Copies of this chain bind each other. A is one copy, B any other.
Amino acid sequence: MTYRSIKLIKRPETTISDDVFELTTQEIPKAGNGEVVVKLTHLSLDPAMRGWMSADEKSYIPPVKLGDVMRASGIGEVVESYNEKLPVGSRVMGLMGLTEYALSDGQGLNIIPKELPAEAVLSVVALPGITAYHGLFEVLKPTSGQTLIVTAAAGSVGSLVGQMAKNKGLTVIGVAGSEEKCQWIVNELGFDHSLNYHDADFAEKLEAAAPKGIDLFFENTGGVAQEPIFNHMNAHGRIAVCGMIADYQSNNPAPGPNWMGIIKRRLTIQGFTMPDHFHRIPEYSQALGEMLAKGELKYRSHILEGLESATSGINLLFNGQNKGKLIVKL
Protein backbone atom coordinates (compact mmCIF):
# COMPACT_ATOMS: atom_id res chain seq x y z
CA MET A 1 0.00 0.00 0.00
CA THR A 2 1.65 3.20 -1.16
CA TYR A 3 0.75 6.88 -1.36
CA ARG A 4 2.18 9.94 -3.10
CA SER A 5 3.56 13.23 -1.70
CA ILE A 6 4.91 16.42 -3.18
CA LYS A 7 8.25 17.40 -1.72
CA LEU A 8 10.03 20.74 -2.02
CA ILE A 9 13.47 20.05 -3.45
CA LYS A 10 14.52 23.52 -4.62
CA ARG A 11 13.62 27.10 -3.69
CA PRO A 12 11.85 29.09 -6.43
CA GLU A 13 13.68 32.24 -7.51
CA THR A 14 10.64 34.06 -8.86
CA THR A 15 7.72 32.05 -10.23
CA ILE A 16 7.10 28.49 -9.08
CA SER A 17 8.40 26.17 -11.78
CA ASP A 18 7.69 22.43 -11.76
CA ASP A 19 11.29 21.55 -10.93
CA VAL A 20 11.05 22.89 -7.39
CA PHE A 21 8.82 19.91 -6.57
CA GLU A 22 9.33 16.18 -6.62
CA LEU A 23 6.45 13.70 -6.65
CA THR A 24 7.45 10.72 -4.51
CA THR A 25 5.77 7.43 -3.72
CA GLN A 26 6.20 5.67 -0.38
CA GLU A 27 4.55 3.08 1.85
CA ILE A 28 1.65 4.13 4.02
CA PRO A 29 3.01 4.43 7.57
CA LYS A 30 1.73 2.65 10.68
CA ALA A 31 0.49 4.76 13.56
CA GLY A 32 2.41 4.44 16.83
CA ASN A 33 1.19 5.17 20.34
CA GLY A 34 -0.75 8.48 20.38
CA GLU A 35 -0.56 8.75 16.62
CA VAL A 36 -3.04 8.72 13.76
CA VAL A 37 -2.86 8.10 10.03
CA VAL A 38 -4.98 10.49 7.96
CA LYS A 39 -6.12 9.88 4.40
CA LEU A 40 -6.38 13.32 2.82
CA THR A 41 -9.42 14.18 0.71
CA HIS A 42 -8.94 17.91 0.00
CA LEU A 43 -5.85 20.14 -0.07
CA SER A 44 -5.90 23.90 0.15
CA LEU A 45 -3.61 25.97 -2.09
CA ASP A 46 -2.90 29.36 -0.49
CA PRO A 47 -0.73 32.37 -1.38
CA ALA A 48 1.18 32.01 1.91
CA MET A 49 2.75 28.83 0.51
CA ARG A 50 4.98 30.92 -1.74
CA GLY A 51 6.53 32.52 1.35
CA TRP A 52 7.04 29.15 3.02
CA MET A 53 9.12 28.03 0.03
CA SER A 54 11.64 30.85 0.50
CA ALA A 55 14.70 30.59 2.69
CA ASP A 56 13.81 33.66 4.77
CA GLU A 57 14.54 32.63 8.35
CA LYS A 58 13.23 35.98 9.59
CA SER A 59 9.70 35.25 8.47
CA TYR A 60 6.81 34.43 10.78
CA ILE A 61 7.07 30.66 10.32
CA PRO A 62 10.17 28.62 9.43
CA PRO A 63 10.60 27.86 5.75
CA VAL A 64 9.83 24.36 4.48
CA LYS A 65 13.08 22.38 4.56
CA LEU A 66 14.34 21.09 1.24
CA GLY A 67 13.36 17.44 0.94
CA ASP A 68 10.32 17.82 3.20
CA VAL A 69 6.70 17.45 2.09
CA MET A 70 5.45 20.86 0.97
CA ARG A 71 3.43 22.52 3.77
CA ALA A 72 -0.28 23.01 3.02
CA SER A 73 -3.52 22.76 4.92
CA GLY A 74 -6.03 20.08 4.08
CA ILE A 75 -8.91 17.91 5.17
CA GLY A 76 -8.89 14.17 5.60
CA GLU A 77 -10.27 11.19 7.43
CA VAL A 78 -8.56 9.32 10.25
CA VAL A 79 -8.03 5.76 8.98
CA GLU A 80 -5.87 4.40 11.79
CA SER A 81 -5.71 5.72 15.34
CA TYR A 82 -3.89 5.17 18.60
CA ASN A 83 -5.08 8.58 19.82
CA GLU A 84 -8.27 8.76 21.92
CA LYS A 85 -9.09 12.27 20.83
CA LEU A 86 -9.08 11.41 17.14
CA PRO A 87 -10.92 8.12 16.61
CA VAL A 88 -11.00 6.30 13.28
CA GLY A 89 -13.57 7.96 11.01
CA SER A 90 -12.95 11.49 12.39
CA ARG A 91 -12.82 14.22 9.82
CA VAL A 92 -9.83 16.44 10.58
CA MET A 93 -8.22 19.59 9.25
CA GLY A 94 -4.65 20.79 9.66
CA LEU A 95 -1.30 21.60 8.06
CA MET A 96 -0.68 18.03 6.80
CA GLY A 97 1.03 19.03 3.54
CA LEU A 98 0.68 18.21 -0.14
CA THR A 99 0.22 14.51 0.37
CA GLU A 100 -2.31 11.71 0.04
CA TYR A 101 -1.63 10.30 3.53
CA ALA A 102 -0.15 11.83 6.67
CA LEU A 103 1.12 10.46 9.98
CA SER A 104 0.43 12.76 12.92
CA ASP A 105 0.60 12.89 16.71
CA GLY A 106 -2.60 14.91 16.56
CA GLN A 107 -0.94 18.26 17.36
CA GLY A 108 -2.55 20.96 15.22
CA LEU A 109 -5.31 18.69 13.93
CA ASN A 110 -8.86 19.89 14.55
CA ILE A 111 -11.99 17.76 14.17
CA ILE A 112 -14.50 19.33 11.81
CA PRO A 113 -18.20 18.51 11.50
CA LYS A 114 -19.16 16.16 8.68
CA GLU A 115 -22.31 18.04 7.69
CA LEU A 116 -20.41 20.91 6.02
CA PRO A 117 -19.05 20.29 2.50
CA ALA A 118 -15.22 20.20 2.49
CA GLU A 119 -15.29 23.09 0.00
CA ALA A 120 -17.21 25.25 2.48
CA VAL A 121 -14.80 24.35 5.26
CA LEU A 122 -11.68 25.21 3.25
CA SER A 123 -13.24 28.28 1.63
CA VAL A 124 -14.89 29.84 4.67
CA VAL A 125 -14.27 28.24 8.04
CA ALA A 126 -10.58 27.46 7.53
CA LEU A 127 -7.59 29.71 6.84
CA PRO A 128 -9.35 32.20 4.50
CA GLY A 129 -12.16 32.74 6.96
CA ILE A 130 -10.12 33.05 10.11
CA THR A 131 -7.72 35.38 8.30
CA ALA A 132 -10.56 37.58 7.09
CA TYR A 133 -12.23 37.50 10.51
CA HIS A 134 -9.10 38.36 12.47
CA GLY A 135 -7.94 41.07 10.08
CA LEU A 136 -11.34 42.70 9.91
CA PHE A 137 -12.48 42.54 13.52
CA GLU A 138 -9.20 42.51 15.46
CA VAL A 139 -6.98 44.68 13.27
CA LEU A 140 -9.31 47.06 11.41
CA LYS A 141 -12.01 47.18 14.14
CA PRO A 142 -14.80 48.43 11.86
CA THR A 143 -17.77 50.51 12.90
CA SER A 144 -20.99 50.93 10.97
CA GLY A 145 -20.93 53.81 8.49
CA GLN A 146 -17.23 53.59 7.70
CA THR A 147 -15.88 53.01 4.19
CA LEU A 148 -13.70 49.93 3.72
CA ILE A 149 -11.63 48.92 0.70
CA VAL A 150 -10.22 45.45 0.16
CA THR A 151 -7.77 44.30 -2.51
CA ALA A 152 -7.90 40.84 -4.09
CA ALA A 153 -11.58 41.31 -3.33
CA ALA A 154 -12.65 38.26 -5.33
CA GLY A 155 -10.07 36.10 -3.58
CA SER A 156 -10.80 33.70 -0.78
CA VAL A 157 -9.94 36.16 2.00
CA GLY A 158 -11.04 39.39 0.35
CA SER A 159 -14.48 38.11 -0.63
CA LEU A 160 -15.19 37.21 3.01
CA VAL A 161 -13.81 40.50 4.38
CA GLY A 162 -16.15 42.46 2.14
CA GLN A 163 -19.22 40.40 2.95
CA MET A 164 -18.62 40.57 6.70
CA ALA A 165 -18.04 44.34 6.46
CA LYS A 166 -21.30 44.77 4.51
CA ASN A 167 -23.14 42.81 7.19
CA LYS A 168 -21.63 45.16 9.76
CA GLY A 169 -23.07 48.20 7.95
CA LEU A 170 -20.02 49.52 6.15
CA THR A 171 -19.70 50.84 2.61
CA VAL A 172 -17.48 48.31 0.86
CA ILE A 173 -15.28 48.78 -2.19
CA GLY A 174 -13.54 45.78 -3.74
CA VAL A 175 -10.47 45.89 -5.96
CA ALA A 176 -9.91 43.03 -8.41
CA GLY A 177 -8.08 42.36 -11.65
CA SER A 178 -10.78 41.36 -14.12
CA GLU A 179 -14.25 42.52 -15.16
CA GLU A 180 -15.66 39.11 -14.33
CA LYS A 181 -14.37 39.34 -10.75
CA CYS A 182 -15.52 42.95 -10.42
CA GLN A 183 -19.03 41.97 -11.47
CA TRP A 184 -19.11 38.91 -9.21
CA ILE A 185 -18.27 40.86 -6.04
CA VAL A 186 -20.93 43.49 -6.73
CA ASN A 187 -23.69 41.35 -8.23
CA GLU A 188 -23.28 38.16 -6.21
CA LEU A 189 -21.57 39.27 -2.98
CA GLY A 190 -23.29 42.65 -2.62
CA PHE A 191 -20.23 44.92 -2.45
CA ASP A 192 -21.14 48.58 -3.07
CA HIS A 193 -18.45 49.21 -5.68
CA SER A 194 -15.73 47.38 -7.54
CA LEU A 195 -12.60 48.75 -9.16
CA ASN A 196 -10.29 47.07 -11.67
CA TYR A 197 -6.68 47.90 -10.78
CA HIS A 198 -5.69 47.55 -14.45
CA ASP A 199 -7.69 50.69 -15.29
CA ALA A 200 -5.43 53.60 -16.16
CA ASP A 201 -7.78 55.97 -14.32
CA PHE A 202 -7.94 53.79 -11.19
CA ALA A 203 -7.19 56.74 -8.88
CA GLU A 204 -10.00 58.87 -10.33
CA LYS A 205 -12.46 55.97 -10.14
CA LEU A 206 -11.41 55.38 -6.54
CA GLU A 207 -12.19 58.99 -5.64
CA ALA A 208 -15.57 58.70 -7.34
CA ALA A 209 -16.38 55.46 -5.51
CA ALA A 210 -15.26 56.85 -2.14
CA PRO A 211 -16.09 60.56 -2.18
CA LYS A 212 -15.71 60.72 1.61
CA GLY A 213 -12.36 58.89 1.58
CA ILE A 214 -11.32 55.48 2.90
CA ASP A 215 -11.40 54.65 6.61
CA LEU A 216 -10.25 51.03 6.52
CA PHE A 217 -7.97 49.29 4.02
CA PHE A 218 -7.55 45.51 3.98
CA GLU A 219 -4.42 44.97 1.87
CA ASN A 220 -3.96 41.61 0.15
CA THR A 221 -1.95 42.49 -2.92
CA GLY A 222 0.47 45.42 -2.95
CA GLY A 223 1.12 46.46 -6.53
CA VAL A 224 -0.28 49.41 -8.43
CA ALA A 225 -3.42 49.88 -6.34
CA GLN A 226 -1.58 50.41 -3.07
CA GLU A 227 -0.37 53.99 -3.39
CA PRO A 228 -3.61 55.50 -4.75
CA ILE A 229 -5.55 53.86 -1.92
CA PHE A 230 -2.97 54.98 0.66
CA ASN A 231 -3.25 58.54 -0.65
CA HIS A 232 -7.04 58.44 -0.31
CA MET A 233 -7.08 57.33 3.34
CA ASN A 234 -8.91 59.47 5.88
CA ALA A 235 -7.46 60.79 9.11
CA HIS A 236 -7.13 58.04 11.74
CA GLY A 237 -7.53 55.41 9.04
CA ARG A 238 -6.42 51.86 9.71
CA ILE A 239 -4.65 49.50 7.30
CA ALA A 240 -4.42 45.73 7.82
CA VAL A 241 -1.54 44.27 5.80
CA CYS A 242 -2.42 40.67 5.14
CA GLY A 243 -0.86 39.86 1.77
CA MET A 244 1.36 41.26 -0.96
CA ILE A 245 0.61 38.79 -3.71
CA ALA A 246 1.88 41.16 -6.42
CA ASP A 247 5.33 40.93 -4.87
CA TYR A 248 5.66 37.36 -3.63
CA GLN A 249 7.41 36.24 -6.79
CA SER A 250 9.56 39.30 -7.33
CA ASN A 251 13.21 39.60 -6.43
CA ASN A 252 12.88 43.35 -6.57
CA PRO A 253 9.55 44.33 -4.99
CA ALA A 254 8.26 47.83 -5.69
CA PRO A 255 8.78 50.35 -2.90
CA GLY A 256 5.92 51.47 -0.71
CA PRO A 257 4.55 54.98 -0.20
CA ASN A 258 6.54 57.67 1.57
CA TRP A 259 5.63 57.80 5.26
CA MET A 260 4.64 61.48 5.35
CA GLY A 261 1.02 60.49 4.80
CA ILE A 262 1.19 58.23 7.86
CA ILE A 263 1.82 61.31 9.97
CA LYS A 264 -0.54 63.70 8.24
CA ARG A 265 -3.44 61.26 8.31
CA ARG A 266 -2.32 59.62 11.63
CA LEU A 267 -2.64 56.20 10.06
CA THR A 268 -2.12 52.89 11.78
CA ILE A 269 -0.67 50.16 9.57
CA GLN A 270 -0.54 46.70 11.04
CA GLY A 271 0.76 43.47 9.57
CA PHE A 272 -0.54 40.14 10.76
CA THR A 273 -0.19 36.44 10.05
CA MET A 274 -2.46 33.78 11.43
CA PRO A 275 0.03 31.47 13.21
CA ASP A 276 0.23 34.16 15.94
CA HIS A 277 -3.51 33.74 16.49
CA PHE A 278 -4.11 30.02 16.00
CA HIS A 279 -5.31 29.76 19.62
CA ARG A 280 -8.38 31.73 18.54
CA ILE A 281 -9.35 29.32 15.75
CA PRO A 282 -12.19 27.67 17.72
CA GLU A 283 -13.81 31.04 18.46
CA TYR A 284 -13.39 32.36 14.91
CA SER A 285 -14.49 29.11 13.26
CA GLN A 286 -17.65 29.00 15.31
CA ALA A 287 -18.55 32.58 14.38
CA LEU A 288 -17.86 31.84 10.71
CA GLY A 289 -19.86 28.62 10.79
CA GLU A 290 -22.84 30.52 12.17
CA MET A 291 -22.60 33.21 9.48
CA LEU A 292 -22.35 30.49 6.85
CA ALA A 293 -25.39 28.69 8.23
CA LYS A 294 -27.37 31.95 8.15
CA GLY A 295 -26.48 32.39 4.48
CA GLU A 296 -24.48 35.55 5.17
CA LEU A 297 -21.33 34.32 3.46
CA LYS A 298 -21.16 33.26 -0.16
CA TYR A 299 -18.08 31.61 -1.59
CA ARG A 300 -16.88 29.92 -4.72
CA SER A 301 -14.32 27.17 -5.00
CA HIS A 302 -11.97 26.47 -7.87
CA ILE A 303 -11.44 22.70 -7.81
CA LEU A 304 -8.40 20.90 -9.27
CA GLU A 305 -8.35 17.10 -9.47
CA GLY A 306 -5.56 14.86 -8.17
CA LEU A 307 -2.42 15.49 -6.15
CA GLU A 308 -0.26 16.11 -9.21
CA SER A 309 -2.44 19.10 -10.21
CA ALA A 310 -1.11 21.06 -7.22
CA THR A 311 2.36 21.68 -8.64
CA SER A 312 1.32 23.82 -11.57
CA GLY A 313 -2.07 24.74 -10.10
CA ILE A 314 -0.56 26.85 -7.37
CA ASN A 315 0.49 29.38 -10.01
CA LEU A 316 -3.17 30.24 -10.64
CA LEU A 317 -3.01 32.20 -7.38
CA PHE A 318 -0.24 34.42 -8.66
CA ASN A 319 -1.40 35.06 -12.21
CA GLY A 320 -4.90 35.86 -10.97
CA GLN A 321 -6.48 33.04 -13.01
CA ASN A 322 -8.19 31.28 -10.12
CA LYS A 323 -11.86 31.92 -9.56
CA GLY A 324 -12.47 31.39 -5.90
CA LYS A 325 -10.76 29.32 -3.28
CA LEU A 326 -8.23 27.00 -4.92
CA ILE A 327 -8.70 23.41 -3.73
CA VAL A 328 -7.18 20.11 -4.84
CA LYS A 329 -9.59 17.22 -4.55
CA LEU A 330 -7.87 13.87 -4.06
Contact = CB atoms under 8 A, between A and B. Distances in A.
Interface string A22-66: 000000000000000000000000000001000010111000000
A263 interface: yes
A107 interface: no
A148 B256 CA distance: 23
A224 interface: no
Taken together, the copies of this chain in the complex come to: 2
A258 B255 CA distance: 4
B266 A268 contact: no
A60 B266 contact: yes
Interface in A247-305: 247, 253-273, 276
Given A60-B235, A235-B60, A269-B269, A258 B253 contact: yes
Interface string A213-250: 00000010010001000000001000001111001000
A241 B243 CA distance: 22
Given A60-B235, A235-B60, A266 B259 contact: no
A83 to B, nearest CB: 32
Given A255-B258, A256-B257, A258-B255, A273 B263 contact: yes
Given A58-B265, A264-B58, A265-B58, A259 B271 contact: yes
Contact of A272 (B58, B263, B271): B263
Nearest to A56: B264
A279 to B, nearest CB: 15
A267 B271 contact: yes
A259 B219 contact: yes
7 contacts: A51-B264, A58-B265, A241-B263, A243-B263, A255-B257, A256-B259, A263-B273
Interface of A: 51, 56, 58-60, 219, 222, 226, 235, 241-244, 247, 253-273, 276
